[in-house]
């Protein structure tokens, strides 16, 4: 698979933080995901070697959990919560509006790699339904008419 | 600083209380995830700045404290002023100078910032008088909103670790177990298994090494009580776990937190560090020689990992596939060692049970469901948020007296409880006292306490479909009835909601539901048919309309619903025009507007904004009949 | 030992036996798909479900459990063909038939349970894989773990990492041989073997030229068991002849020495 070259020093650093055994796998993968914004296959090979877990099992875990992406993601991840409270308060309309504005649907990334749209499970802010999270910023009582504003203000959370 | 005896503990508590007493005024700003999303951090900063500028901190000992989630998220940012006891809602940074001037210094309230009761329109001054809070009995959530979760002294001042002190200094592990047994506490994660029984099985199991685990994987959409507890009072969870570990003889524990709760991870980590520094966690706890330490493990994003055996596999670094529990995890659990896994809220209640006694807890609640329960009341209800109430409180009381009734005063249709494993409860059962047994009898389930209020603009077939779609995504795929059954069940429901229902569908649904309930490996698959079966039980006519008439009575299913504007009611205000995302409405201001059916996607946006109720829904099939 | 009844028949089995062991001891046939003697039971296909009653329960309170991994208990009563067991089995096969409409084994089993055509929506991309997990489980058992299950839910599939020829595979064919629907393709000759997109060199008997096992597999055995790789370079036939030759020589020597 064609993937950009990655600096594996980051992976080595992460592996230093945990015991070198299978139970550390998911924590390691989460740090790798955060460091590279996805799980590069070279990094996964390194993780398998170092933790002494068969590569097939590392791959199995990487594809089982929603927190992980195997392809490079956009700079900013836009998450629309599809929990029950958000669903009945119109989460679908937010997803549709995002598609209209960005041209991509859930689990897709814009061509310029600026945004990836995702639908996510309940984020636990149900009293503020419906919720959109742009980067690290939560927008409660979200409306399709304000989607442009959410995207423009970007994802840096001053909170 | 390190507590190494009972006297040390008493001294630490006293010191903490004296420190707080010196703060003659406190401004408590909620900084749970909900209020943070509304900008409460800036509000807290504004208070700090203004108070410093006025010298109030030095003179009067006014102190700004950021707390965890009060639970009243929709009215946030929430600010409580103590000792006045005044609650302000929807506070903006720009309003802070006025609050400081008029209330903190002047002692007068700012009326328009007070909570307004939606039922009678009155302003309520006192935090304790707001119906949302007045009716609550907070045990698991006792300190949330009162303490700064990142300051252990605050927690100590409010009684944290008193239960642990009693357990370690006054009781044997067996006596601790007895106390929990007297309380009658049942697990608060959904299954409702008796806590003491679970602990006893682990205690009696063979094996030197054992574990206590905390299930913080709160996956039920609509439930956020565990988030609130982990963010707002992490010490209650730690205290419970140390007590539990002492009772079963464990020295290691892990708190498994959903990947989607980053603030909970942060606050728990801080609490763990502080507890260790104070000798309340780790080696030689409170000088008693008992060792116990915890770590935090983040979930990978899988609802199925809320299932106990899947959670343990996840902790072992594997995929979250459950296993048949013919051998219980209390005998062979994590790494095949005896393990106790309890929910966040369950652990949070333990400290209070030890501090006040099991009988105190058992005096609340019903015959078979003792104590209190946290509920997240959300959806189409006026006061959305978290409440903790004695078991046995009726649904009507929760939704109307505490919740303030249905949002927009629309007709009540159903309340969904128990998440994807639960069901919908209709109006005729609103006087049901909420407890484990009663909810199950009604075809639903307590689950983790999510309560989603639904109005007439909810299609019950769509609700069932929604839960099926959720579970189809979350199924681990190991067993045939769940993996294949959910996919096929969802297909039937997609067909129903898009007008492709056929005779015999209900029988097919019921046959598949039975096989899933009996044949699935774990509770995800076994309980997946519940939303389907409960909506069929109480709203069968809606299903029949979808199949026989290709109509959605609630006007929600898009492929079955068309919209039109009534000429007699429309006043040409033009609001619908702006709301339409596909420009399907034409009309000029002050003139009758028209919806063009070929462009209309039936999203309902216009319906929601029309101020005169001029828009109505009708079955799309009528358009086809007209065309013919 | 534990004594229990299966469909009314009394059987006695070891304390640590499973219900499946007891059912077989009673001479009753139970269909299974994900079970393989020698591998830990998995409980995924749900075909072997039975109704079970244990001492201490109400007279007519039965629990449906999988026979393959449920332990026996003294006094247990097992029903292998109750109405709801048969119905559940039928739905399981109905669902599998939807997933694998052309697979002979599934069609046969479904037909045996009264289902000739699925009542559900057939898979748009029919497959022979029933996701029983036997291939990955045997690969784990051997200590190789070259393939695994990828993804979750309905889209789950068995594949090598990154869908590329698996670096850890030793070409032993255990996965292909254990697969109940024969859906893992491979090619093998005296010279090479190809499976999962990887081609392996065969170790050949120097005399007969017969391909024995892959070099990779021999090396795996050598590392994990201490048996030298060269052991595998002789074909069984040649080894038998050698042994026979050695035995004949021994016999001849003994006859010479000891008389008739």
Integer angstrom CA distances of residue B336 from A80, B210, B572, C91, C143: 38, 9, 70, 34, 20
Which of C15, C43, C46 best tests the B interface by mutation, with the highest count of B CBs <10 A?
C46
The number of C-beta contacts closer than 8 angstroms across A and B is 169
A75 dihedral zone (left: phi>0; alpha: psi -120 to 50; beta) = alpha
How distant is the Cα of A153 from the closest Cα of chain B, in angstroms? 14
Residues C152, B476: C-beta atoms closer than 8 Å: yes
The boundaries of the domain holding residue B622 are 558-627
How confident is the model over A93-97, as a mean pLDDT?
93
Residues B314, A129: C-beta atoms closer than 8 Å: no
Chain C residues within 8 Å of chain A (Cβ atoms):
136, 144-152, 160-162, 164, 166-168
Integer angstrom CA distances of residue A113 from A5, A38, A94, B185, B559: 17, 13, 20, 51, 34
The DSSP symbol for B194 reads B
User: What is the rounded distance in angstroms from the CA atom of residue B383 to the CA atom of residue B10?
Assistant: 40
Contact indicator for B265, B234 with CB cutoff of 8 Å: no
Question: C153: closest CA among B473, A118, B524?
Answer: B473
* Residues in B touching C98 (Cβ below 8 Å): 484, 488
End-to-end CA distance of chain C: 51
User: What is the rounded distance in angstroms from the CA atom of residue C177 to the CA atom of residue C186?
Assistant: 10
Total count of domains within chain C: 2
Which sign does the torsion angle of CA B229, B230, B233, B239 carry? positive
Write down the residue that tokens 């068969």 correspond to.
Answer: A54
Residues B299 and B237 grouped into a single domain:
yes
How distant is the Cα of A130 from the closest Cα of chain C, in angstroms? 27
Residues A126, B579: C-beta atoms closer than 8 Å: no
Which sign does the torsion angle of CA B67, B73, B79, B85 carry? negative
Integer angstrom CA distances of residue B185 from B181, B364, B436, B496: 7, 11, 12, 42
C172 in contact with B, Cβ within 8 Å: no
User: What is the rounded distance in angstroms from the CA atom of residue C153 to the CA atom of residue C161?
Assistant: 18
- How big is chain A, counted in residues? 159
Q: Do strands B450-455 and B372-379 pair parallel, antiparallel, or not at all (unpaired)?
A: parallel
Total count of domains within chain B: 5
| Secondary structure of residue B295 in the 3-state scheme | strand
Residues B600 and B464 grouped into a single domain:
no
Residues B73, A128: C-beta atoms closer than 8 Å: yes
Asked if pLDDT for residue B373 goes beyond 70, the answer is yes
Contact indicator for B376, B224 with CB cutoff of 8 Å: yes
Which of B317, B345, B600 best tests the A interface by mutation, with the highest count of A CBs <10 A?
B317
Task: Count CA within 13 A, CB hemisphere, residue C114.
Answer: 6
User: What is the rounded distance in angstroms from the CA atom of residue B112 to the CA atom of residue B105?
Assistant: 18
- With DSSP H G I counted as helix, E B as strand and the rest as coil, what are the percentages for chain B, rounded to 5? 45, 15, 35
* Residues in B touching C88 (Cβ below 8 Å): 481, 514-515, 518-519
Locate the chain B residue with the closest alpha carbon to C18.
B326
The DSSP symbol for B404 reads -
Nearest to A65 among B223, B302, B316 (CB): B302
Asked if pLDDT for residue B553 goes beyond 70, the answer is yes
C64 in contact with B, Cβ within 8 Å: yes
B38 in contact with C, Cβ within 8 Å: no
Residues B485, C45: C-beta atoms closer than 8 Å: no
Residues C164, A63: C-beta atoms closer than 8 Å: no
DSSP B557-624: -GGGEEEEE-TTT-----HHHHH-TT--EE--TTS--EE-TTT-----HHHHH-TT--EEEEETHHHH
How confident is the model over B555-583, as a mean pLDDT?
92
pLDDT of residue B109: 92
**ipTM for this prediction:** 0.91
With a pLDDT cut of 70, the percent of chain B lying above it is 100
Question: B445: closest CA among B297, B223, B607, B618?
Answer: B223
Residues B511, C91: C-beta atoms closer than 8 Å: yes
pLDDT of residue A1: 46
* Residues in B touching A127 (Cβ below 8 Å): 34, 71-74, 224, 376, 378, 384-386
Residues B38 and B79 grouped into a single domain:
yes
- The answer to whether residue B7 is domain-embedded is no
User: What is the rounded distance in angstroms from the CA atom of residue C38 to the CA atom of residue B325?
Assistant: 21
- The answer to whether residue B9 is domain-embedded is no
* Residues in B touching A26 (Cβ below 8 Å): 297-298, 300, 314, 317
| Secondary structure of residue C249 in the 3-state scheme | helix
* Residues in A touching B467 (Cβ below 8 Å): 84
C5 in contact with B, Cβ within 8 Å: no
The DSSP symbol for C92 reads H
How confident is the model over B523-540, as a mean pLDDT?
96
| Secondary structure of residue B390 in the 3-state scheme | strand
Asked if pLDDT for residue A158 goes beyond 50, the answer is no
pLDDT of residue B434: 96
Residue B143 corresponds to which tokens in the numbers above? 């300190």
How confident is the model over B186-205, as a mean pLDDT?
96
Contact indicator for C167, A65 with CB cutoff of 8 Å: no
Contacts of A89 (CB under 8 A, 6+ apart): A129, A130, B379, B380
Sorting pLDDT into bands at 50, 70 and 90, what band is B257?
A: very high
The DSSP symbol for B287 reads T
* Residues in C touching A54 (Cβ below 8 Å): 144-146, 148, 168
Residues A57, C166: C-beta atoms closer than 8 Å: no
At B128, which helix (H) or strand (E)? none
Express each pLDDT in B52-83 by its tens digit. 999 888 777 788 999 998 788 878 899 999 98
Residues C148, A57: C-beta atoms closer than 8 Å: yes
- The answer to whether residue C138 is domain-embedded is yes
pLDDT of residue C226: 81
In this structure, what CATH number is given to the domain that contains residue B512?
1.20.1440.230
- The answer to whether residue B145 is domain-embedded is no
Higher pLDDT, A156 or A146: A146
Residues B344 and B410 grouped into a single domain:
no
- The answer to whether residue B134 is domain-embedded is no
Which of B518, B522, B529 best tests the C interface by mutation, with the highest count of C CBs <10 A?
B518
Write out residues in chain C with pLDDT < 70, as ranges: 258-260
The DSSP symbol for C226 reads -
- The answer to whether residue B567 is domain-embedded is yes
How distant is the Cα of A68 from the closest Cα of chain B, in angstroms? 8
* Residues in B touching A27 (Cβ below 8 Å): 297-298
Torsion of CA B133, B136, B138, B142, to 10 degrees: 10
Locate the chain C residue with the closest alpha carbon to B326.
C70
With a pLDDT cut of 90, the percent of chain B lying above it is 84
Nearest to C148 among A1, A44, A56 (CB): A56
How distant is the Cα of B316 from the closest Cα of chain C, in angstroms? 16
- The answer to whether residue C120 is domain-embedded is no
The boundaries of the domain holding residue C17 are 2-81
Nearest to C152 among A55, A59, A64 (CB): A64
Residue B218 corresponds to which tokens in the numbers above? 């709160």
* Residues in C touching B487 (Cβ below 8 Å): 153-154
Residues B224, A26: C-beta atoms closer than 8 Å: no
| Secondary structure of residue B21 in the 3-state scheme | helix
- The answer to whether residue B615 is domain-embedded is yes
How distant is the Cα of C28 from the closest Cα of chain B, in angstroms? 21
Contacts of C249 (CB under 8 A, 6+ apart): none
Question: C101: closest CA among C123, C80, C120, C85?
Answer: C123
Q: What are the sequence ranges of the domains in chain A?
A: 9-64, 76-152
In sequence order, what E strands does chain C have? 2-6, 9-13, 49-53, 63-66, 77-79, 148-150, 157-159, 186-188, 192-195, 198-204, 211-214
Task: Count CA within 13 A, CB hemisphere, residue B483.
Answer: 24
- The answer to whether residue B52 is domain-embedded is yes
Residues C147, A54: C-beta atoms closer than 8 Å: no
Nearest to C92 among B477, B514, B515 (CB): B515
Express each pLDDT in B132-179 by its tens digit. 888 899 999 999 999 999 999 999 999 999 999 999 999 999 999 999
User: What is the rounded distance in angstroms from the CA atom of residue B375 to the CA atom of residue B419?
Assistant: 12
pLDDT of residue A156: 52
Residues B63 and B77 grouped into a single domain:
yes
- The answer to whether residue C124 is domain-embedded is no
Question: B62: closest CA among B15, B96, B39?
Answer: B96
Which of C65, C78, C91 best tests the B interface by mutation, with the highest count of B CBs <10 A?
C91
- The answer to whether residue B601 is domain-embedded is yes
Contact indicator for B302, A121 with CB cutoff of 8 Å: no
Residues B106 and B180 grouped into a single domain:
no
Write down the residue that tokens 């119905």 correspond to.
Answer: C87
User: What is the rounded distance in angstroms from the CA atom of residue A98 to the CA atom of residue A87?
Assistant: 16
Nearest to A84 among B314, B452, B474 (CB): B452
Residues B437 and B465 grouped into a single domain:
no
Residues A64, B302: C-beta atoms closer than 8 Å: yes
Question: C168: closest CA among C230, C244, C223?
Answer: C223
Residues B470 and B377 grouped into a single domain:
no
pTM exceeds 0.90 = yes
pLDDT of residue C260: 47
Nearest to A55 among C136, C151, C161 (CB): C161
Asked if pLDDT for residue A157 goes beyond 60, the answer is no
Residues C154, B475: C-beta atoms closer than 8 Å: yes
Residues B166 and B79 grouped into a single domain:
no
Which of A22, A47, A56, A64 best tests the C interface by mutation, with the highest count of C CBs <10 A?
A56
Residues B377 and B422 grouped into a single domain:
yes
Residues B40, A125: C-beta atoms closer than 8 Å: no
Contact indicator for B132, B383 with CB cutoff of 8 Å: yes
Integer angstrom CA distances of residue B215 from A20, B145, B235, B315: 25, 22, 15, 11
Residue B149 corresponds to which tokens in the numbers above? 């979760």
Locate the chain C residue with the closest alpha carbon to A55.
C161
Sorting pLDDT into bands at 50, 70 and 90, what band is A155?
A: low
Nearest to B221 among A25, A84, A89 (CB): A84
Least trusted range by pLDDT, from A40-44, B37-41, B467-471: B37-41
Cα B392–chain centre separation: 18
User: What is the rounded distance in angstroms from the CA atom of residue B382 to the CA atom of residue C40?
Assistant: 54
Residues C162, A41: C-beta atoms closer than 8 Å: yes
Q: In what order do the strands lie in the sheet with B25-30?
A: B62-67, B25-30, B79-82, B86-88
- The answer to whether residue C243 is domain-embedded is no
Contacts of A7 (CB under 8 A, 6+ apart): none
At A85, which helix (H) or strand (E)? helix A84-88
Question: A38: closest CA among A75, A13, A93?
Answer: A75
Architecture in CATH of A76-152: 3-Layer(aba) Sandwich (3.40)
Contact indicator for B320, B314 with CB cutoff of 8 Å: yes
* Residues in A touching B303 (Cβ below 8 Å): 121
* Residues in C touching A55 (Cβ below 8 Å): 161, 166-168
């Amino acid at each position: 698979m064609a993937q950009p070259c990655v600096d594996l020093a980051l992976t080595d650093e992460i592996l230093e933080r945990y015991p070198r055994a299978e139970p550390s796998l998911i924590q390691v993968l989460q740090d790798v995901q955060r460091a590279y914004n996805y799980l590069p296959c070279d990094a996964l090979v390194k993780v398998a070697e170092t933790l002494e877990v068969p590569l097939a099992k590392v791959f199995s875990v990487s594809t089982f959990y929603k927190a992980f992406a195997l392809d490079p993601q956009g700079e900013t991840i836009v998450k629309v919560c599809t929990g029950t409270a958000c669903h009945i308060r119109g989460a679908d309309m937010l997803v549709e509006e995002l598609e209209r504005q960005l041209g991509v649907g859930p689990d897709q990334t814009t061509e310029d790699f600026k945004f990836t749209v995702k639908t996510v499970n309940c984020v636990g802010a149900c009293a503020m339904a419906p919720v959109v999270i742009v980067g690290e910023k939560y927008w409660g009582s979200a409306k399709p008419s304000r989607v442009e504003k959410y995207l423009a203000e970007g994802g840096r959370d001053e909170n | 600083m390190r507590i190494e005896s009972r006297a040390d503990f008493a001294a630490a508590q006293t010191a903490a209380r004296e420190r707080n007493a010196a703060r003659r005024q406190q401004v408590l700003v909620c900084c749970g995830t909900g209020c943070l999303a509304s900008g409460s951090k800036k509000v807290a900063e504004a208070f700090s700045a203004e108070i410093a500028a006025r010298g109030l901190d030095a003179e009067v000992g006014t102190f700004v404290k950021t707390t965890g989630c009060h639970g009243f998220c929709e009215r946030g940012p929430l600010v409580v002023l103590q000792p006045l006891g005044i609650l302000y809602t929807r506070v903006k940074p720009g309003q802070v100078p006025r609050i400081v001037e008029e209330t903190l210094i002047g002692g007068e309230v700012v009326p328009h910032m007070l909570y307004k009761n939606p039922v009678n329109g009155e302003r309520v001054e006192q935090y304790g008088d707001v119906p949302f809070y007045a009716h609550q009995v907070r045990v698991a959530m006792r300190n949330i909103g009162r303490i700064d979760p990142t300051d252990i002294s605050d927690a100590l001042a409010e009684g944290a670790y008193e239960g642990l002190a009693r357990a370690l200094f006054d009781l044997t592990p067996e006596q601790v177990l007895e106390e929990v047994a007297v309380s009658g506490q049942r697990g608060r994660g959904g299954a409702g298994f008796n806590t003491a029984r679970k602990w006893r099985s682990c205690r009696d199991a063979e094996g030197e090494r054992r574990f206590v685990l905390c299930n913080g994987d709160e996956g039920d959409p609509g439930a956020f009580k565990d988030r609130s507890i982990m963010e707002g009072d992490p010490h209650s969870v730690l205290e419970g776990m140390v007590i539990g570990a002492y009772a079963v003889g464990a020295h290691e524990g892990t708190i498994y937190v959903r990947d989607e709760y980053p603030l909970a991870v942060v606050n728990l980590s801080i609490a763990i560090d502080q507890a260790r520094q104070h000798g309340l966690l780790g080696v030689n706890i409170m000088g008693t020689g008992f060792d116990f330490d915890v770590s935090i493990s983040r979930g990978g994003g899988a609802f199925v990992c809320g299932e106990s055996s899947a959670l343990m596999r996840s902790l072992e670094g594997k995929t979250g596939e459950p296993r048949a529990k013919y051998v219980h995890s209390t005998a062979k659990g994590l790494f095949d060692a005896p393990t106790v896994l309890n929910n966040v809220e369950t652990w949070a209640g333990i400290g209070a049970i030890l501090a006040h006694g099991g009988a105190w807890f058992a005096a609340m609640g019903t015959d078979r469901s003792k104590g209190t329960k946290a509920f997240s009341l959300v959806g189409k209800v006026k006061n959305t948020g978290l409440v903790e109430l004695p078991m046995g409180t009726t649904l009507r009381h929760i939704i109307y007296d505490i919740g303030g009734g249905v949002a927009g005063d629309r007709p009540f249709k159903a309340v969904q409880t128990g998440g994807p494993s639960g069901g919908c409860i209709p109006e005729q059962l609103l006087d049901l006292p909420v407890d484990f047994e009663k909810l199950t009898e009604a075809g639903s389930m307590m689950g983790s306490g999510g309560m989603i209020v639904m109005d007439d603009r909810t299609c019950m077939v769509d609700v069932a479909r929604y839960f099926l779609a959720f579970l189809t995504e979350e199924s681990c795929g190991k067993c045939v009835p769940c993996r294949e059954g959910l996919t096929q069940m969802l297909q039937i429901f997609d067909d129903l909601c898009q007008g492709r229902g056929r005779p015999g569908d209900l029988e097919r649904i019921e046959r598949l539901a039975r096989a899933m309930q009996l044949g699935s490996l774990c509770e995800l698959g076994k309980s997946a048919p519940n939303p389907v079966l409960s909506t069929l039980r109480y709203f069968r006519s809606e299903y029949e309309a979808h199949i026989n008439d290709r109509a959605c009575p609630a006007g929600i299913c898009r492929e079955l619903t068309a919209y039109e504007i009534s000429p007699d009611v429309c006043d040409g205000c033009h609001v619908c025009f702006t709301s339409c995302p596909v420009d399907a409405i034409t009309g000029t201001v002050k003139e009758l507007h028209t919806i063009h059916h070929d462009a209309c996607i039936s999203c309902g946006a216009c319906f929601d904004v029309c101020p005169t109720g001029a828009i109505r829904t009708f079955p799309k099939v009528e358009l086809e009949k007209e065309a013919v | 030992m534990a004594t229990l009844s299966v469909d009314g028949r009394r059987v006695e089995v070891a304390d640590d036996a499973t219900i499946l062991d007891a059912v077989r001891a009673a001479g009753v046939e139970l269909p299974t798909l994900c079970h393989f003697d020698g591998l830990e039971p998995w409980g995924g296909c749900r075909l072997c479900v039975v109704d079970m009653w244990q001492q201490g329960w109400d007279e007519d309170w039965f629990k449906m459990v999988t026979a393959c991994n449920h332990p026996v208990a003294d006094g247990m009563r097992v029903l292998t063909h109750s109405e709801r067991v048969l119905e559940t089995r039928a739905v399981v096969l109905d669902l599998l038939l939807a997933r694998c409409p052309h697979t002979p084994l599934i069609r046969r089993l479904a037909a045996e349970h009264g289902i000739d055509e699925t009542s559900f929506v057939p898979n748009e991309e029919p497959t022979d894989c029933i996701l029983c997990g036997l291939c990955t489980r045997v690969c784990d058992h051997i200590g190789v773990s070259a393939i695994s299950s990828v993804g979750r839910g309905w889209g789950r599939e068995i594949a090598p990492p990154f869908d590329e020829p698996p670096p850890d595979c030793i070409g032993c064919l255990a996965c292909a041989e254990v697969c109940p629907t024969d859906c893992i393709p491979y090619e093998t000759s005296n010279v090479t073997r190809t499976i999962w997109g990887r081609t392996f060199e065969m170790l050949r008997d120097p005399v007969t030229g017969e391909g024995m096992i892959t070099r990779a597999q021999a090396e795996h055995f050598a590392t994990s068991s201490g048996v030298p790789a060269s052991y595998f370079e002789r074909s069984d036939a040649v080894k038998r002849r050698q042994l026979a030759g050695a035995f004949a020589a021994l016999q001849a020597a003994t006859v010479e020495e000891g008389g008739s």
